Amino acid sequence: MSLFSNTATLLGKELRTEFRSRELLTTTAVFILIVLVLFSFAVTPGTEEARQFAPGLLWLAILFASSLMFQSCFLREQTNDTLSSLRLAVSDPFSIFLAKLIANTLFLLLTELIMLPFFALFYNIPLWSKLPVLLLVLLVGSLGISIAGTAISAISAQARMRELLLPLLLLPLLTPVLVVSSLVTGNLLDREPIIQWKGIAFLAVFDLVFLTALWLFGEYLLEE
Amino acid sequence: MAKRITLGAVALLLVIASAYASFYIAPEERTMGVIQRIFYFHVASAWAGFTAFLVCFIGNLLYVWKRSEKYDWLGVSSAEVGLAFTTVVLITGPIWAHPVWGIWWTWDARLTSTFILWLLYVSYLLLRTLIEEPDRRALLSSLFGIFAFLDVPLVFGAIRWWRTQHPSPVIMGGQGSGLEPTMKAVFFFSVIAMHVFMTFLIVERYILEKTKAEVDILRREAEAQ
């Protein structure tokens, strides 16, 4: 029971810190927007080609944005020297990870929600009727990105050149998420939409594997 | 020392013998001709590389559990050797693909997964260069190695969703697949040869890493005085 109450308290702390400044959310949302606009210059927008590439691009933008967003996740604790007090405050260090990864998922989902209308507008893709399933795909995909991202940001925060190291470690690890979620989103946004339940299940398996790994090995990541 | 030389000599002889066997003993494949002979080298290297990464994963797990630096040495040695074998796979693949498929590189499933595998272990070695303190480096890189190895089946599974151009598995594949008996014998001989060679390389690299750590301690002692 203490795992849940600790996690809830820590999650409250994460959310309060972010919503005081909203730095992370605004910068990430603007970043995704820039990528989406820039991409329209790389291919001719409005064409069938752009339509086909759009779902993959959407996930690529989310992936890059997440690797920027997760930088501060453990770094903030380190610069303020609060990690050891955090560890002392909770009985199970997994709750630190759990709180951080839930917060990261929420932030990521929020930025995705902010830019989804722009995405639909720029690439002329009607989303409304497919929204419930699309949200489910965004949820399982972003959860996977956040679980792996939280673990990796705990590693990279303790190394040199950490800003560069985080995407370097994280992005190859997230290949399965990129491959499957782009495919599922692509099929969903097609003119004849197909819901790839197998793909969604695969993303859930990815989440589960990394969550279990984090639960088993998380405490070693935070060793002093 | 004598053991190391013997192992090296055996590895060398086996690799030469498997090269001879794949050129002169194995029959020529009907449609692909002589280029198919690279298969014995290509697939055997791939298997040896995967085994090396498995050894790396075991080393990583043991380090997190036992915290003895020798498991860290094992981890880094097998990761480097595995990377070398995977590099061979990624080079011999296109050499085979160009005459057979007509292109050097294609975004085929197994090719792509192997490339991602290669990237994951490059990141693993890169991470090691960016942490100074030996204990911290050992622990954090071990943990990343564990995450990377867990990711491998997911990468392979995910990329299977794409359509693939790779020849469907001939070893342990479905019905109708399989090798001609002489080819099979040569193939498994090559696999054994590559594994012995891989073991030799890991042992040598391990001893190098151990010496490095010892020199490091001596240097620190000298500086302290």
CB atoms B158 and A202 under 8 Å: yes
* Total residues found in chain B within this entry: 225
Chain B partners within 8 Å of A217 (Cβ): 64, 143, 146
* Total residues found in chain A within this entry: 224
CB atoms B131 and A175 under 8 Å: no
A180 closest CA partner among B164, B149, B156: B156
**Euclidean distance between CA atoms A91 and A96, whole angstroms:** 10
Q: What are the boundaries of each domain within chain B?
A: 34-165+179-214
Residue from the list B119, B143, B158 with its beta carbon closest to the beta carbon of A180: B158
Give the minimum alpha-carbon distance from B119 to chain A in angstroms, rounded to a whole number: 7
Say which residue the tokens 């359509």 belong to. Answer: B163
CA dist list (Å): A82 to A77, A78, A86, A96, B157: 5, 6, 6, 12, 40
Beta-bridged to residue B33, according to DSSP, are B29
CB atoms B147 and A210 under 8 Å: yes
**Euclidean distance between CA atoms B46 and B85, whole angstroms:** 7
CB atoms A160 and B131 under 8 Å: yes
Structure confidence at residue B183 (pLDDT): 86
Tokens of A94: 């997994």
Q: Which residue has the higher pLDDT, B81 or A73?
A: B81
Chain A partners within 8 Å of B147 (Cβ): 148, 151-152, 173, 210, 213
End-to-end CA distance of chain A: 26
Structure confidence at residue B129 (pLDDT): 94
Given a cut of 60, whether residue B175 has pLDDT beyond it is: no
Q: Is B35 helix (H, G, I), strand (E, B) or coil?
A: helix
Q: What is the largest CA-CA distance in chain B?
A: 71
pTM metric for this prediction: 0.90
A·B CB contacts under 8 A: 75
Beta-bridged to residue B29, according to DSSP, are B33
Report the domain count for chain A: 1
Question: Residue B168's pLDDT band (boundaries 50, 70, 90)?
Answer: low
B136 closest CA partner among A211, A215, A172, A154: A154
Strands (E), chain A: none
CB atoms B147 and A158 under 8 Å: no
**Euclidean distance between CA atoms A178 and B159, whole angstroms:** 10
> Any residues with CB less than 8 A from the CB of B53 and at least 6 apart, and which?
B78, B79, B82, B117, B121, B149, B152
Helix, strand, coil shares of chain B, percent, nearest 5, are: 80, 0, 20
Are A194 and A187 contacting, i.e. CB atoms less than 8 angstroms apart?
Answer: yes
**Euclidean distance between CA atoms A174 and B67, whole angstroms:** 28
Are A200 and A184 contacting, i.e. CB atoms less than 8 angstroms apart?
Answer: yes
User: DSSP letters along A54-94, please?
Assistant: HHHHHHHHHHHHHHHHTHHHHHHHHHTT-HHHHHHH-S-TH
CB atoms A152 and B157 under 8 Å: no
**Euclidean distance between CA atoms A218 and A216, whole angstroms:** 6
**Euclidean distance between CA atoms B78 and B52, whole angstroms:** 5
Residue from the list A173, A199, A205 with its beta carbon closest to the beta carbon of B148: A173
Q: What is the pLDDT of residues B18-71, one digit of tens each?
A: 989 888 888 877 777 777 888 888 999 999 999 999 999 999 999 999 999 999
Given a cut of 80, whether residue B5 has pLDDT beyond it is: yes
Are B74 and B210 contacting, i.e. CB atoms less than 8 angstroms apart?
Answer: no
**Euclidean distance between CA atoms A217 and A219, whole angstroms:** 6
Q: Which domain holds residue A137?
A: 2-221
Tokens of A29: 């949302």
Question: Residue B169's pLDDT band (boundaries 50, 70, 90)?
Answer: low
∠ CA B125-B129-B132 to the nearest 5 degrees? 135
Kindly give the parts of chain A with pLDDT less than 70.
1, 45-46
Quick one: DSSP state of residue B24?
I
**Euclidean distance between CA atoms A78 and B163, whole angstroms:** 45
Given a cut of 90, whether residue B143 has pLDDT beyond it is: yes
Give the minimum alpha-carbon distance from B186 to chain A in angstroms, rounded to a whole number: 35
| B176 φ/ψ sector (left φ>0, alpha ψ -120 to 50, else beta) | left
Given a cut of 90, whether residue B214 has pLDDT beyond it is: yes
**Euclidean distance between CA atoms A177 and B201, whole angstroms:** 34
Residues on chain A bordering chain B, Cβ-to-Cβ distance under 8 angstroms: 148, 151-152, 155, 158-161, 165, 168-169, 172-173, 175-177, 179-180, 183, 199, 202, 205-206, 209-210, 213, 217, 220-221, 223
